[in-house]
Structure 1
Amino acid sequence: MSTTGTVLVTGATGTTGSRTAARLIAAGHRVRAASRRATPLPGAEPVRFDWYDPGTHGPALEGADRVHLVPPVGDGDPAAVMLPFLRRARAAGVRRVVLLSSSAIPEGGPAVGAVHAALPGLFDEWAVLRPSWFMQNFTGTHAHAVSIREEGVIMTAAGSGRVGFVDADDIAAVAVRALTDDDAPGTDLILTGPEALGYDDVAAILGDVLGRPVVHRRLTYEQMRDRLTAQVPPDFAAMLAGMDRAIADGAEDRTTDVVERLTGRPPHGFRAVVERELVRGG
């Protein structure tokens, strides 16, 4: 695919968006970094973008032919704002869209699943990235990372279920290939790390790397839902707690070869990522 166009990266200050933008810039692509405050990003053109302010959509799309699409955070019905934006993007000349979704949300499923279902009808060139849970949930600003730092505890309703946790750097590496390869994937891609781990395993590795105890506290679905309701709307809290329950039932106990197939290298392991981000400071 030609590198003469511009890639619009929404959520450009976020966990995956910032990494995707940085990789695109390093590879010589023109990047428009979209965020609510038009935060400067070295090598990119910053632009103000707010999902809930359609007045920001046209200027963000101007001249863009590819879009890395990160849904609004915490919105139980993102299709309401995303689908009008995507129709506008198609009219503005965007040819390829790569959507960030989740391994837990299938095409036509809840929340961003409705956007996934609509995407192939809107664009000939597309992909949906469906990563497993981020390894960065334990190292950044996520509730798990906060409770680890403050209490040495990870709280889930996932029981002994296992997850193929994935490095956000690996997600970004796949996103760049999906955005810039001559042929778009034209499918959804489930992204995982190299192994499936239970939260007890995660706590043990974190404790070993940090040199202090970290424990996994098992909550019921109801306890998890009520805990999350203090942070997000009740419907969204119920959906998130339900994802933990699905993990307990084995829904995320898998690994895939997608990262290695698209990037040419194996995905990063959990211990290596934790050491990189918590010990060596990123």
Structure 2
Amino acid sequence: MNTPGTTLVIGATGTTGRRVSAGLIAEGHRVKAAGRNATPVEGAQAVRFDWDEPATWDEAVDGADRVYLVPPIGSSDPAAVMLPFLHQARAAGVHRAVLLSSSAIPAGGPAVGQVHQALPGLFEEWAVLRPSWFMQNFTGSAPHARSIREDGAVLTASGEGRVGFIDAEDIAAVAVRALTDEQAPNTDLVLTGPQTLSYDDVAAIVTEVTGRPVVHRHLTFEQLRDRWAAEIPLEFATMLAGMDRAIAEGAEDRTSDTVLRLTGRPPGTFRAFVERNVS
């Protein structure tokens, strides 16, 4: 494989995209930073890209030989726009694709699982990143961060279920390797932090680090679904609440060695993340 040429990073100002862009640039790779507003990214070529506007796709893929794919946010059927784009990207010369999916969604599963299933048939070089829940869900404007600030509570329907929360920094570090290493992974990669935690554990750690009492409020599936449905379409709200139910049933109670294996360093802990980021 030749030295990487130009990587198109979709969602280049998002949680993982901006970190992937920064990691690629730091290693001297050329980056096209794609987003709806073509927001300037230092060291990259900004380009306008919108999943729902195919007229923006040509310029985005022009000159790129690999792509980091962040699905359209909030879509219950991302394959409807992503698969036509991927065919166009391949025809334009893209030969490696790295897709951001989720540990909760297998190949052929709902939503981005359909894109995952199609990827190996479209590209000879590929990877699907399947991270567990982001530690960043507890910062900024994310729902858990808002409820912690406003109510001193984390609200889930996950019961005592455990999750291998992962830092987006670690996801991005794996993505950079998957995009640029001589050999593409050509597989899906489950990404987790070093330990699994219940949301009771999460609340206790945030309390200990910040000194502010935070509790985990246990909701039913229906309560969480209805809470989400006040803000997003019912179909998507039902899917998100279903993910919490799967956590309660043990679906996310696992850790993987992927971060260490691909980057050479262990993934960060949730406590260290809170110490750095949550006030």
**TM-score normalized by the length of structure 1:** 0.98
Higher deviation after alignment, 147-156 or 69-78? 147-156
2:273 corresponds to: 273
Listed one character per residue, the Cα deviations across residues 119-156 of structure 1 (whole Å, up to 9, x for unaligned) are 00000000000000000101122100111111111000
Q: Identity of paired residues, percent?
A: 72
Residue correspondence of structure 1 range 202-217 to structure 2 within 5 A: 202-217=202-217
Please give the secondary structure, in 2, of the residue aligned with 1:154.
Answer: strand
Distance 1:257 1:69 in 2: 23
Distance 2:141 2:61 in 1: 29
Q: In the TM superposition, what is the alpha-carbon distance from 1:4 to its structure 2 partner?
A: 5.0
1:48 corresponds to: 48
Distance 1:133 1:169 in 2: 13
Distance 2:58 2:80 in 1: 17
Distance 2:175 2:22 in 1: 12
Listed one character per residue, the Cα deviations across residues 144-183 of structure 1 (whole Å, up to 9, x for unaligned) are 0111111111000000000000000000000000000000
Contact 2:4 2:180 in 1 (8 A): no
Please give the secondary structure, in 2, of the residue aligned with 1:43.
Answer: coil
**TM-score normalized by the length of structure 2:** 0.99
1:141 corresponds to: 141
Please give the secondary structure, in 2, of the residue aligned with 1:14.
Answer: coil
Distance 1:57 1:232 in 2: 27
1:258 corresponds to: 258
Kindly provide the amino acid, as one letter, of the partner of residue 38 in structure 2. Answer: A
Kindly provide the amino acid, as one letter, of the partner of residue 33 in structure 2. Answer: A
2:94 corresponds to: 94
Structure 2: which 5+ runs fail to align?
none
Q: Structure 1 residue 187 and structure 2 residue 187: aligned?
A: yes
Distance 1:211 1:21 in 2: 35
Residue correspondence of structure 1 range 78-227 to structure 2 within 5 A: 78-227=78-227
How well do the aligned residues superpose, as a CA RMSD in angstroms?
Answer: 0.8
Distance 1:70 1:3 in 2: 23
Q: In the TM superposition, what is the alpha-carbon distance from 1:3 to its structure 2 partner?
A: 3.8
Contact 1:165 1:270 in 2 (8 A): yes
Please give the secondary structure, in 1, of the residue aligned with 2:67.
Answer: strand
1:243 corresponds to: 243
1:231 corresponds to: 231
Q: Structure 1 residue 27 and structure 2 residue 27: aligned?
A: yes
Kindly provide the amino acid, as one letter, of the partner of residue 81 in structure 2. Answer: V
Please give the secondary structure, in 1, of the residue aligned with 2:129.
Answer: strand
Kindly provide the amino acid, as one letter, of the partner of residue 126 in structure 1. Answer: W
Structure 1: which 5+ runs fail to align?
none
Distance 2:208 2:262 in 1: 32
Structure 1 residue runs of 4 or more that deviate by more than 4 Å after TM superposition: none
Please give the secondary structure, in 2, of the residue aligned with 1:207.
Answer: helix
Kindly provide the amino acid, as one letter, of the partner of residue 12 in structure 1. Answer: A
Please give the secondary structure, in 1, of the residue aligned with 2:209.
Answer: helix
2:18 corresponds to: 18
Contact 2:157 2:241 in 1 (8 A): yes
Kindly provide the amino acid, as one letter, of the partner of residue 24 in structure 2. Answer: L
Q: In the TM superposition, what is the alpha-carbon distance from 1:14 to its structure 2 partner?
A: 0.6
Distance 2:115 2:140 in 1: 27
Distance 2:255 2:4 in 1: 36
Count of matched residue pairs: 279
Distance 1:2 1:180 in 2: 10
Q: In the TM superposition, what is the alpha-carbon distance from 1:232 to its structure 2 partner?
A: 1.2
Distance 1:274 1:41 in 2: 27
Distance 2:71 2:33 in 1: 15
Q: In the TM superposition, what is the alpha-carbon distance from 1:278 to its structure 2 partner?
A: 2.2
Distance 1:59 1:178 in 2: 24
Contact 2:6 2:29 in 1 (8 A): yes
Q: In the TM superposition, what is the alpha-carbon distance from 1:227 to its structure 2 partner?
A: 0.2
Please give the secondary structure, in 2, of the residue aligned with 1:227.
Answer: helix
